[in-house]
Amino acid sequence: RLWIDRVEPHLGADRPCFVTDYPAWQAALAQVRRDPAWPVAERFELYALGVELANAYRELTDPEEHRRRFAAWAAARRAAGREVYPVDQAFLEAVGRMPPCSGIALGVDRLVMLATGAPEVSWVVAFP
């Protein structure tokens, strides 16, 4: 909540900014830099006027590392009394055949919201 309530609203206040070097535990499906002195997620987010516009990362293509992360997430959900989802075996098989790659998700709706001065994203969503 600290990040969402206190930091994020001020990111990119006067110009767009990139947030990089997320802690390894926030890697999600991104690769983690193998430098033991600086093990950070190979990902970034783009912010403008306090709004996250894009999320990008270098894809993790190691199925065994995915298994380890999924097991850790399942254990955390189980400990919290939340539903544990089954591991998608087809995903693990496919990801192991992927070449090295990166991707970015651009929130076009958020970009339109900022460009038009709309007070919230629901004002610009084409298909509510």
pLDDT of residue 126: 83
pLDDT of residue 127: 80
Give this prediction's pTM: 0.83
pLDDT tens, residue by residue, 13-51? 999 999 999 999 999 999 999 888 989 999 999 999 999
pLDDT of residue 102: 96
**Cα(22)–Cα(29) distance, integer angstroms:** 13
Which residues, 6+ apart, have CB-to-CB distance to 128 below 8 Å? 122
Which residues, 6+ apart, have CB-to-CB distance to 85 below 8 Å? 74, 77
pLDDT tens, residue by residue, 79-96? 999 999 999 999 999 999
AA letter at 44: F
